[in-house]
Each structure stands twice: as C-alpha cells, then as structure tokens.
Amino acid sequence: MSVQLKKPAASAIPVRVVDRAGLAARLDAAPAATRRWLEATGFSAAPDSHVLVPAADGAIAEVWAGVRAADHPWALAALPRALPEGRYRLSPDGLELPAEVAAMSWELGAYRFDLYKPAARAPATLQLPKSAAAQRGLLLAAAIASVRDLVNTPAEHMGPAELAEAVKLVAEQHGAEFRQTVGEALLKAGFPAIHAVGRAATRAPRLIELHWGDPKHPQLTLVGKGVCFDTGGLDIKSPDGMRQMKKDMGGAANALGLAQLVMALGLPVRLTLLIPAVENAIAGNAYRPGDVIRTRSGLHVEIGNTDAEGRVILCDALACAAEAQPDLLIDLATLTGAARVALGAQLPALFCRDTATARELVDLGLALHDPLWHMPLWRDYHGGIESEIADIVNTGRGPQAGAINAALFLEDFVPPALPWLHVDLYAWNDTARPGRPAGGEAQTLRTLLAWLERRYR
C-alpha cells in the first residue's frame, strides 16, 4: 500500500495542497524564499500540478500541490508516481482534504497493473492519521483496484474458471457462500442460454453465485456480464473489434467490486451476486445465427447475431434473480457499442423504469465525479426486437437505438413490479488521467454504493 494509516512522522515531507482561488493568500503567508521560488517556477496551482520547494541544504522542504477542489475524488492522484520516493504527509498550512479523498486518491494514483511488467519504481508513500474515513477511502481504492486487475488480466489467464476463483476468494474473505454450476450441468439446472453461448469454448461456461447476509434483511441481487473473451462467435468480429475483448467481463468485475464493498461495509442487506461466465468462441458446435434458444424464463430467443451474446447469457441470470423476488436487482454489463457511440467511454448508460430514481442516480454520480447518464426504456421500439418465429430476437432490425434495444431485451426477463437498474458500461480507459491509467476501470462503483447506503441505511 502507498498509504500508511499512522501518525505522520515529523521527518515526512509536508505536502501543501492549494487551489487557484486561494493561491494568492497562501503565497502572501509563505516565507519570502518560498514565494520567490514558486513565482520563478511559474506555479499557478493548476489541478494535478506540483512544485518541489528546496530547503537550504538542497533537500525537499515541502511540496506545493494544485487541486481542483479539496473534496475532488482525484485530488492527490497525480502525486504518488510523480514525487520522488519517500514518505509524505499533508501540511496543515494547505487546504484540509477529507481523509477519504486523501486516502483513495493517493492509493489509486499509485495503482499500476504489474502482473507481467513490474513498475520501474515504487510510488511515494503518504502517511495519514488513522480514521474511519481514511479506512473507507482505502476500501474504495482496494475494490476499484481489484476491478481493474480483473479487467486488465488477459483472457488466457482470466477465463470462466479463473473468474470463479476470484469470486470464491472474495466470498472466503467475507464469510459468504460460494457455488457454481458448470458445463453440461447448466442444462440440468435450467440455464440453457448460458450454455448455448459458451458451449463452443474449450473452457466450460458456468453460472457463478455468491450469497451473503442476514436472511431477515432486504434482498439485493447483483448480476454481472462475464464474457471472458468475445470473438463475436460465428458473426466474428474484426481484428480491431476483437483486440480489447478481454474486457468483456467488465460488468462482472464491477459487480464483484460492488459486492465486495457491500460486504466490507456491512450494509444491512441479503446479498446475491450472479455472474454468467462464458467465452464466446468459434467451433463446430457454436451457436448459430438463426438458432432459437429456449431460455430459463420459458421465452424463446431467436439469434439474430452471435456477437450480441451478452444479453443472451444475462437473460438466464436475470430470470434466476427474479425468482427470489429481490427488493432490488442491478445488472452491470459491457453490453453495447451503441452506448459508447451515444455517450462515449466515460459515461455509462443507465436504464431504469423509475425516472425519479434515475435522476437521483445521475445527480449523485455528477456530485461524486463517478457519472452515469439516464437513457430511456422506450417501449415503442420493442417491435424492433420481436421475432416472426420466436418470442424475441437478440438484435434490432437496424443500427438505430442499439443500447435501448438491448435494454428492452433484458427488460422482458425482469417482472414489471421488480425495481431494476441496468448499467451499460465500458469498464475501460482509452487514455490515462491522474489516478485512472489506460486500461481496465471501475465505473459507477462509488455512485451505486452511495445510493445503496442511502436506500438501506
């Protein structure tokens, strides 16, 4: 860990946090030598900038660091990899940062996926007084880092079995029940759609389950799309389209990260996590365009395109989740390119039957800098996913409204009275920002957690 929760040592280098609005006043109060140094270096307190202020002997006397705001979640994220190795502490002469923000932003600023290529140097260490808020910040950082690690791991080392092991490890850490239904057993257990999508792979498909909490508490069920690699199936993707498909289990990774936080923070819920985990492969027994599959709910699905496999495995998991009549059902999935065309990489699409709930989540996401954006479940488009020979088809009749079509498909497997959120996310950073390196990413995790804490406090 790059954050140590302990009384900061007097020898730790102080970091003075400032913003542009307060810089002039901070400069006026600073020693003349410090003021001249900052003016000479052109320090303007721009967000994510810093200056090393030397002591008379040439050592680092202190660091001045610019932030957008004291409570910005990525306030310190630019520092751990930019500062020289060593121990640092927050200066009382700067802005006072919430302990949760300081801990999370510093810890995630130090994050690197180093399974195959160790980092060239260790990050700088921040010493923070121990507190519940700082511990919460580290819990958030650990969950986000675990999501990133899962998504970043290549499919060779993160297939359905390895994803199941990751869930099992989290279950063991929190005293939860773990089980999985694998391969042909899926057919006997009533998960034919999951089996159909994953049957062509040499690595067996499965439904992964985690159960935790007091049976007396409200039931919260999380479902995550776990396509560990997506070739597109017989409707094969282009090389460019397939390149990053190790991340197609990003919904499962995010669902597991959220479950991890729910358990670590002891939310008063009875938690179920369901992850249909498959590899969408190409072989002689692969499911085909034009096939009709009977799903767990009894609905028959015509396969319009084998590259729309995520909604096919999710429909069995959602039907299973609905059987327990949970108080709330949330699914997370890297489901459609159409959502990215509409909203880009940084804005996951939220589909929700209740407009007030959707608006609350959007507002909360904006406040927490963990955004998502409300998209409509436009029922007039449902005719576009109705089949002539089955109940429903897994693709629309054209390229328009692709994310809505996918959400409407899933909605057919969720009873109308059941509170349900569907999040179509990217789980990836195409470019690096402080605390958010290029690669796998946790999205909506902090927003959903904060909203769940409101709901179940």
Retrieve residue 177's tokens.
């029940």
Active site residue 311: yes
Q: Which of 148, 311, 340, 436 is catalytic?
A: 311
How many other CB atoms are found less than 10 A from the CB of residue 7?
A: 11
Angstrom CA distances, 175 to 135, 172, 210, 423, stand at 20, 5, 10, 28
Radius of gyration from C-alpha coordinates of the chain: 24
Q: Which helix (H) or strand (E) holds 209?
A: strand 206-212
Which residues sit opposite 181 in a β-bridge? 207
Buried b (16+ CB within 10 A) or exposed e, 192-208: bbbbbbbbbbebbbbbb
Q: Which of 35, 168, 237, 353 is catalytic?
A: 237
Angstrom CA distances, 418 to 242, 281, 335, 354, 382, stand at 35, 33, 21, 11, 19
Phi, psi of 90 (to 5 degrees): -80, 135
CB neighbour list of residue 28: distance below 8 Å, 6 or more residues apart: 35
Tokens 């299973």 belong to 320
CB neighbour list of residue 420: distance below 8 Å, 6 or more residues apart: 328, 329, 330, 331, 352, 353, 411, 414
Closest listed residue to residue 321, CA positions, set 223, 246, 227:
223
Longest Cα pair distance anywhere in the chain, in angstroms?
A: 82
> Which class for 363: exposed (0-12), middle (13-18), buried (19 or more C-beta within 10 A)?
exposed
Query: Are residues 302 and 414 in contact, defined by beta-carbon separation less than 8 angstroms?
Result: no
Report the distance separating Cα 179 and Cα 167, nearest Å. 9
Query: Are residues 243 and 153 in contact, defined by beta-carbon separation less than 8 angstroms?
Result: no
Active site residue 16: no
3 state DSSP class of 437:
coil
**Residues with catalytic roles:** 237, 311
